[in-house]
Amino acid sequence: MVVGDFAEEIDTLVVGAGPGGYVAAIRAAQLGQKVTIVEKGNLGGVCLNVGCVPSKALIQAGHRFHEANEGAENMGITSKGAEVDFTKVQEWKGSVVEKLTGGVESLLKANKVNIVRGEAYFSDKDQVKVSTDEYSSQTYKFNNCIIATGSRPVELKPLPFGKRVLDSTGGLNLEEIPKSLIVVGGGYIGIEMAGAYANLGTEVTVLEGESRILSQGFEKQMTQPVQKKLKAQGVDIQTEAFAQGVEESEDSVTLTAEVKGEEKTFEAEYVLVAVGRRPNTEELGLEQIGVEIGERGLIQVDEQSRTSVDNIYAIGDIVPGLPLAHKASYEAKVAAEAIAGEAAAVDYLGMPMIVFSNPELASVGYTEEDAKEAGFDVKSAKFPFQANGRALSLDVSEGFMKLITRKDDGLVIGAQIVGPNASDMIAEAGLAIEAGMTAEDVAMTVHAHPTLGEITMETAEAALGMPIHIT
């Protein structure tokens, strides 16, 4: 018997409380909406709980351990015998997650957003039934709705998830550092996890179906330093490799793969599958109310994140585009502002993409290749980290920045960085693109010395044909 099911009327309903959903709820509330957010799992979604944040914590722990063991003999520093208490690493990682998810709840409450724990199902174009447990549910009648239900890891038929075949969540929550690990997928998740565990002393093998790792969104010259570093750490990278099957034993797993047309077997303690993510759009009742769902389960939306049903919006991993947390947050603000009647619309040119590899990769706007394919007459300029004083003093001088500008007016339309702190440095290039700045504007901006940020100024000067610190 269902009890307590009298419809509650609200202005805006948000389904999902990840980096898209909670941001949408807060912005809608700031714009005067009466907002309810529904979440069946943990506040913060995949990113805060089992994705972006905990993976970066694990990556940082790996860096610290690797540095402690390697020392810096060229600086006169030697160190030996560093050890890892992986239980404490996991506890620390959990504490970081707990602080952030608790902060999300506080922010929602501070903005007077009503938080409902349960599973949503659309019964009409303006109505959702939320099941809070087996015996109770609540109906909400809304004026507008923003769907932000996120995604989950793709499971491969030849590699069903189990005790020793893990998704990214399982890979982050191991109780002990594995002695050996096979990573299936050489995209950003796979490479980040491979690097983290290699730093912690794990023997890592990466199997990638393409001809090179990190092929989506990054040019070959960008990824070469990352591949070189991984190989120096002992990571075995197998490209044009396709998993065929797996056999699990009590303490190991054997994976069979076709590598460049030849069958090979690989053995390790665990297999981590990181070949992409699948949108969570099933079992919501969307199709029966007329929401158009395209290929791969992605919801079709317009430039304001509106679906084929006028009062229902969709954001984040469930709409076309890369599954990035900051993309979801950006779309969240656009959708909330569109509901409030503002002329907001998405523009993805300034959307950064980052890989927390070693060295880090970052890209925003057009690559040189993409710009040419789009019909632009462009100029590319590069500046190496090894010509920067701060990079040399940090002893991390590998990599470069590349700036893409239009030839006729010097307008900045793209940038790529491979090197230390690329994830932070890319923001300035994104601002330049968003603000319609030219290479001259960037070059004329005074950058403090000595900083890594000077590399952006130096690259802009190279684009103008007047570099100071390179010939």
pLDDT tens digit sequence for 448-471: 999 999 999 999 999 999 999 998
Q: Helix, strand, coil shares of the chain as percentages rounded to 5? A: 35, 30, 40
Residues 212 and 289 in one domain: no
Answer yes or no: is 432 within a domain. yes
Within a domain: residue 59?
Answer: no
Whether residues 366 and 457 share a domain: the answer is yes
Tell me the three state secondary structure of residue 15.
Answer: strand
In a domain, 60, yes or no: no
Rounded to whole angstroms, the Cα distance separating 184 from 207 reads: 5
Q: What total number of domains does the chain contain? A: 3
**147 and 26 in a common domain:** yes
Annotated binding-site residue? 317: yes
Do 268 and 300 have their domain in common? Answer: no
135 and 20 inside one domain = yes
Within a domain: 329: yes
CATH of the domain at 427: 3.30.390.30
Residues 140-187 have pLDDT tens digits of 999 999 999 999 999 999 999 999 999 999 999 999 999 999 999 999
For residue 464, CA distances in Å to 379, 443, 454 come to 10, 9, 15
Q: Around Cβ 70, how many Cβ atoms within 10 Å?
A: 13
Co-location of 438 and 405 in the same domain: yes
Strand, coil or helix: 145? strand
Q: Is residue 285 part of a domain?
A: yes
Considering the domain architecture, whether residues 21 and 147 belong to the same structural domain is answered as yes
* Whether residue 107 sits in one domain with residue 129: yes
Task: Report whether 210 contacts 240 (CB < 8 A).
Answer: yes
pLDDT of res. 44? 95
**Which pLDDT does position 240 carry in this prediction?**
98
Q: Are residues 26 and 126 in the same domain?
A: yes
Please state the φ and ψ torsions of residue 291, each to the nearest 5 degrees.
Answer: -75, 120
Same domain, 141 and 107: yes
- Asked if residue 251 belongs to a domain, the reply is yes
Instruction: Note the pLDDT of residue 1.
Output: 40
Residue 5: what pLDDT?
64
Q: Which residues pair with 180 in a beta bridge?
A: 203
CA dihedral (291, 295, 299, 303) positive or negative: negative
Answer for the pair 419, 426: CB distance below 8 angstroms, yes or no. Answer: no
> Is 192 labeled as ligand-binding?
yes
Check the annotation: does 189 bind a ligand: yes
Contact 362, 89 (CB under 8 A): no
What element of type H or E holds 208?
strand 203-208
User: pLDDT value at position 4?
Assistant: 52
Query: How far does Cα 337 stand from its chain's mean position?
Result: 24
Q: Is 410 annotated as a binding residue?
A: no
Instruction: Judge if 175 and 267 occupy the same domain.
Output: yes
**Local confidence pLDDT in tens for the 471 residues of the chain:** 445 568 899 999 999 999 999 999 999 999 999 999 999 999 999 999 999 999 999 999 999 999 898 877 888 888 878 899 999 999 999 999 999 999 999 999 999 999 999 999 999 999 999 998 777 899 999 999 999 999 999 999 999 999 999 999 999 999 999 999 999 999 999 999 999 999 999 999 999 999 999 998 899 999 999 999 999 999 999 999 999 999 999 999 999 999 999 999 999 999 999 999 999 999 999 999 999 999 899 999 999 999 999 999 999 999 999 999 999 999 999 999 999 999 999 999 999 999 999 999 999 999 999 999 999 999 999 999 999 999 999 999 999 999 999 999 999 999 999 999 999 999 999 999 999 999 999 999 999 999 999 999 999 999 999 999 998
Residue 17 sits in the same domain as residue 107: yes
Q: Is residue 371 part of a domain?
A: yes
Assess if residue 158 is contained within a domain.
no
Annotated catalytic residues are: 449
Choose the final residue of a domain: 326, 348, 370: 348
User: The domain spanning residue 45 has which CATH number?
Assistant: 3.50.50.60
* 276 in a labelled binding site: yes
* Residue where a domain terminates, one of 296, 317, 348: 348
Residues of the domain holding 188? 165-275
191 known member of a binding site: yes
